[in-house]
């Protein structure tokens, strides 16, 4: 490391420490990302903040203790999870008002991403305190980056519903959307989840699953829905761990004739049975978000086929 880079690093670390208090002596709430598996995946800035704040609010203090012990961090901890958010938020606000700074961490990854913390951040900001993010590991971003599926537009759904019908309803909703669908899944539901994917999407549709990211048995596989479904069903090891599932969005390039999905065409057909062609096209454009040119072209084709 050059002298200039070393000096820059020292300045950044000292900056993290010096900003633990605002100018009016109020405490600061730090949202600190922690590793999702490999303990080496934590930033120097995150370590400095965890060492310097007066208190760490952890989703599960038992899980977080391993990380703090690994880096010899002695900062006191308090539990903050979905079952005590209301009462603990008041306690933490009191700490901030007294001038103490707090680091909020989850069991793994970036806090608030499918983890508790929104209620606290909302209350802290409404009370006039500064909230400072310390970025780092995030399972959904890690999976996206290595999936080979489009990353320019995506929707994150957290964990999907527990029942098959509700999951399939989610897949139906996203089947004609262009962005990548990303969600988390557990080991005891991954097989049934992929059954539902296969029931809604074409067998040749592109999908990726990432399991045990950054851990010893990290596996990231991308293929067709049929291929991934078969792989997971035939290998018990592929049914273990924590999963991120990514399903490719609707690709207009694969529908060069008119750019409309099957659902878009179904909507247009229904409207054409009840309205004039002009009105049906207008309403279909509003409902599907497709271009007027593509919808009108398809409407004429449907009309000619009748």
Which one is predicted more confidently, 197 or 175? 197
- In the block, which residue shows the tokens 């059954």? 195
SS3 category, 111: coil
- The mean-pLDDT minimum among 96-100, 200-204, 212-216, 291-295 falls in 291-295
Which of the listed residues 211, 230, 250 is the one where a domain comes to its end?
250
pLDDT at 21 over 50: no
User: Which tens digit of pLDDT belongs to each residue from 39-55?
Assistant: 999 999 999 999 999 99
Same-domain status, 146 and 54: no
Same-domain status, 170 and 86: no
Same-domain status, 75 and 96: yes
Q: Where are the beta strands (DSSP E) in 14-96?
A: 28-32, 55-58, 77-79
Helix residue spans in 71-159 (DSSP H): 85-97, 118-126, 139-147
pLDDT of residue 266: 85
CATH of the domain at 163: 3.30.950.10
Same-domain status, 12 and 132: yes
Same-domain status, 287 and 232: no
What confidence category does residue 257 fall into, taking pLDDT thresholds of 50, 70 and 90? low
pLDDT of residue 229: 97
Same-domain status, 120 and 156: no
Provide mean pLDDT across the span 280-300.
87
Provide mean pLDDT across the span 107-128.
95
Which of the listed residues 89, 119, 137 is the one where a domain comes to its end?
137
Its domain, for residue 118, covers: 3-137
pLDDT of residue 18: 46
CA-based nearest residue to 182, from 210, 224, 201: 210
Percent of the residues in the chain that have a pLDDT greater than 70, as a whole number:
89
Provide mean pLDDT across the span 163-178.
93
Q: Is 128 left (phi over 0), alpha (psi -120 to 50) or beta?
A: left
Q: Is 81:59 a contact under the CB 8 Å cutoff?
A: yes
Query: What are the CA-CA distances from residue 34 to residues 73, 134, 191 (Å)?
Result: 14, 9, 29
What confidence category does residue 297 fall into, taking pLDDT thresholds of 50, 70 and 90? confident
Query: Pairing between strand 102-105 and 206-211?
Result: unpaired
- In the block, which residue shows the tokens 């999870």? 81
- The mean-pLDDT minimum among 84-93, 109-118, 215-224, 288-297 falls in 288-297
Same-domain status, 145 and 246: yes
Instruction: Give the number of domains in the chain.
Output: 3
């Amino acid at each position: 490391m050059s002298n200039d880079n070393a000096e820059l690093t020292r300045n950044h670390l000292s900056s993290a420490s010096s900003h633990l208090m605002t100018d009016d002596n109020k405490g600061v709430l730090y949202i600190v990302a922690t590793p999702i598996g490999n303990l080496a995946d934590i930033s120097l800035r995150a370590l400095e903040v965890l060492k310097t704040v007066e208190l760490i609010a952890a989703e599960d203090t038992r899980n977080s203790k391993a990380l703090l012990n690994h880096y010899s961090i002695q900062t006191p901890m308090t539990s903050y999870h979905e079952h005590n958010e209301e009462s603990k938020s008041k306690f933490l606000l009191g700490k901030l008002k007294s001038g103490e700074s707090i680091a909020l961490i989850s069991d793994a990854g970036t806090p608030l991403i499918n983890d508790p913390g929104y209620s606290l951040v909302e209350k802290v900001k409404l009370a006039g305190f500064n909230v400072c993010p310390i970025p780092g590991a995030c399972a959904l971003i890690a999976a996206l980056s290595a999936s080979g599926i489009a990353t320019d537009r995506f929707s994150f759904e957290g964990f999907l519903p527990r029942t098959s019908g509700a999951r399939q309803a989610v897949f139906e909703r996203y089947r004609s959307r262009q962005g990548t669908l990303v969600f988390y899944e557990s080991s005891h539901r991954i097989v049934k989840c992929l059954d539902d994917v296969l029931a809604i999407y074409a067998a040749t549709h592109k999908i990726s699953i990432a399991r045990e990211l950054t851990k010893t048995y990290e596996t990231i596989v991308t293929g067709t829905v049929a291929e991934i479904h078969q792989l997971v069903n035939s290998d018990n090891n592929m049914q273990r761990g924590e999963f991120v599932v990514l399903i490719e969005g609707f690709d207009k390039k694969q529908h060069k004739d008119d750019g409309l999905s099957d659902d878009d065409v179904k909507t247009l057909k229904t409207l054409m049975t009840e309205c004039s062609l002009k009105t049906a096209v207008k309403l279909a454009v509003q409902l599907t978000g497709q271009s007027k040119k593509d919808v009108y072209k398809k409407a004429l084709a449907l009309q000619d086929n009748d």
